[in-house]
Amino acid sequence: MKRTLQQIADAVGARLLGNGKIEVHAVASLARASAEDLVFVEDNKHLQSALASKAGAVIAGEFASTVAANKPLLISDQPKLAFARAASLLSDNQHYAHEAAVHPTAIVDASAYLEKDVVIGERAVIGAEAAIGEGTTIGAGCVIGRGVKIGKNCLLYPQVTLYPGTSLGDRVIVHAGAVLGSDGFGYVRDRNSGRYEKFPQIGRLVIEDDVEIGANSAIDRGALEETRIGRGTKIDNLVHIGHNCQIGENVIIAAQTGLSGSIVIEQNAVLGGQVGIGEHARVEEGVMLGGQGGVLPNKILRGNGIVFWGTPAQPVREYLKQLATLARIAKK
């Protein structure tokens, strides 16, 4: 979708230097940009490369505003953010377009409620009493269980499964193969027979607004209560989140991280990839935990901005000191 530089500057809050009538239709990297592409640089070091590229215009920081530029500049105090917003503006969502609103092969229960501008992909299944908000797209082959609530402008890629009763807010993105609302892993062992019997897993899963969930991730619903993923939280591929977890707002959870049951992750926490956290643990606001780090059950990590690493997780300075000490001793 073409836009003029002026339109983009206005939309992303940048200051335009140069001809605002020039049109671009996409964003690109410096190496791949054509004259119809927009690029960005975050520091002076890459500015000359950007100006030397084939790009039609460059988004840059204030540092670029005094440079003699051979092409238009969009000056922003957060150039990468401005670039991301420009990309969103220029996107026509061509990556998952449907021709029909509800594909004829989709199976939509008569009691399901679809607001306007809902797109249902090929052979998706929408269960009884499900409700899907305006502008939401359900990809091919998704299975939306009974009573699921999905907000406005959500995007579910193909083959997503939502278990009955799961609730999604607005603008939630779910990638292919993700399973939301599955049973938690809870059993009671009979002392007499030694057999495990299923503890009820009848709670719900609530996903708040602006959450994104990666491909083939699995998030369990609560056992008796609910599992909740807070507003703006981003979850990568192949992540596991167990029953009753409470994830705060704007949390980052990288790929293959696993949370067992009843864990609290407070807002703005950042979990690296392959992190593992034991049941009833708590990661407090703004804590960062390095990749493969492990947290024992019932443990609390605290300290906004503090980085933890290792298993069991420790403040990274202490942990690195231990690693260095061991390496030194072993060399003697």
- Shortest distance (Å) from residue 125 CB to its own copies: 5
Supply the minimum distance, in Å, between the C-beta of residue 10 and its own copies.
Answer: 17
Q: Distance between CA 157 and CA 161 in Å, rounded?
A: 10
Smallest gap from residue 295 Cβ to its own copies (A): 9
Q: Could you tell me the smallest distance in angstroms from the CB atom of residue 305 to its own copies?
A: 13
CB nearer to its own copies: give 98 or 152.
Answer: 98
Q: Which amino acid is at 310?
A: G
CA dist list (Å): 145 to 108, 133, 266: 11, 15, 29
Calpha distance 313→325 (Å, rounded): 17
CA 39/CA 275 separation, integer angstroms = 34
Q: Looking at the chain, how many residues does it have? A: 332
Annotated catalytic residue, options 98, 103, 240, 243: 243
User: Is 243 considered catalytic here?
Assistant: yes
Please identify, using beta-carbon distances, which residue of 68 and 114 lies nearer to its own copies: 114
Residue 18 or 278: the one with the smaller Cβ distance to its own copies is 278
d(CA 183, CA 189): 17
Q: Which is nearer to its own copies, 116 or 331 (CB)?
A: 331
Rounded to the nearest whole angstrom, what is the least distance from the CB of residue 317 to its own copies in the complex? 10
Closer CB to its own copies, residue 67 or residue 129? 129
130 near 149, Cβ under 8 Å? Answer: yes
Q: Please, what is the minimum distance in Å from the beta carbon of residue 308 to its own copies?
A: 14
Distance CA 34, CA 44 (A): 21
Q: How far is CA 320 from CA 275, 288, 309, 317, 327, in A?
A: 17, 15, 9, 5, 11
Closest CB to its own copies among residues 68, 327: 327
Which residues are marked as active site? Answer: 243
